[in-house]
């Protein structure tokens, strides 16, 4: 039951992220400032593109966990992936949702904070999803416990990530960092959050490289580079931020 409700939290967080992205991109497409639409300004495009990448990565991971949970009823390898990836995804996606909603609010300025938009409601709802069914520390300790008690589940998780090895050198480096973190038994509990973060980033990158839009995968891998910015809106100039932002903007039917 706990595994399924943790997946529920991932689904809800991914949905909040997508709704926040829709609000931000729609507003930027119509709001003018300094003589131009917000969505036409390079810095805003960078922020919106980064939010779009975050949202898509969360959804990819959530859907992969959902498939593993379903297939795990008859496939022990899928069950192993689900055992680890559910805790990893619950930790990472639910933590990132609150940060992403906050950034989306900034795209609207003060209107994103007051009740004229739905973003304040998203802002209030996002944190509880990181708390329900085990807060962040519980998820990370669960990963460590599963790795020790059910080593086959960790093997299945690592094999899942390795399916994308060789596709992008930046992802390869992220996978290497993940494996180094998993192999470091010293102070495992103290380092648990860092280890699980490495696992989440490597798995999201692998899923996007294997199955995602190439432009989104490229942007995500750029974020994996050593020295890459940690704030939203720090994608490098090589990324076509305008195209990513436009791709994420919701289209309203006539």
Q: Looking at the 3D structure of the chain, how many domains does it have?
A: 1
**pLDDT recorded at residue 238:** 95
**What is the pLDDT confidence band of residue 169, given thresholds at 50, 70 and 90?**
very high
> Is residue 43 one of the residues assigned to a domain?
yes
In a domain, 173, yes or no: yes
User: How high is the mean pLDDT of the chain?
Assistant: 94
**Any idea what the CATH number is for the domain that residue 212 is in?**
1.20.140.10
Distance CA 54, CA 89 (A): 13
Classify burial at 135, counting beta carbons within 10 Å of its beta carbon; exposed 0-12, middle 13-18, buried 19 or more. Answer: middle
Containing structural domain, residue 85: 2-248
Question: For residue 52, which of 180, 241, 184 has the smallest C-alpha distance?
Answer: 241
Asked, for residue 127, whether it belongs to a domain, the answer is yes
The residue that leads in pLDDT, 185 or 12, is 12
Residue at 254 is within a domain: no
The mean pLDDT of 158-181, rounded to a whole number, is: 96
pTM metric for this prediction? 0.94
């Amino acid at each position: 039951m706990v595994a399924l409700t943790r997946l529920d939290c991932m689904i809800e967080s991914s949905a909040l992220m997508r709704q926040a992205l829709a609000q931000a991109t729609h507003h930027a497409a119509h709001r003018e400032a300094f003589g131009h639409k917000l969505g036409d300004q390079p810095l805003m495009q960078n922020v919106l593109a980064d939010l779009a990448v975050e949202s898509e990565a969360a959804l990819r991971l959530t859907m992969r966990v959902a498939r593993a949970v379903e297939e795990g009823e008859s496939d022990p390898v899928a069950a192993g992936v689900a055992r680890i990836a559910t805790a990893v995804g619950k930790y990472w996606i639910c933590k990132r949702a609150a940060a992403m909603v906050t950034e989306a609010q900034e795209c609207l300025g003060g209107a994103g904070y007051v009740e004229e938009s739905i973003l304040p409601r998203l802002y209030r709802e996002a944190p509880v999803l990181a708390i329900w069914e085990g807060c962040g520390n519980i998820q990370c300790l669960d990963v460590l416990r599963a790795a020790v008690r059910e080593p086959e589940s960790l093997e299945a998780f690592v094999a899942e990530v390795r399916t994308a090895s060789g596709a992008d050198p930046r992802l390869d480096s992220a996978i290497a960092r993940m494996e180094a973190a998993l192999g470091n038994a010293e102070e495992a509990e103290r380092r648990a959050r860092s280890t699980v973060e490495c696992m989440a980033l490597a798995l999201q990158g692998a899923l996007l490289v294997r199955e995602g839009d190439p432009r989104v995968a490229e942007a995500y891998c750029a974020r994996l580079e050593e020295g890459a910015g940690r704030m939203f809106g720090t994608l490098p100039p090589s990324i076509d931020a305008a195209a990513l932002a436009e791709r994420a903007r919701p289209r309203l039917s006539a």
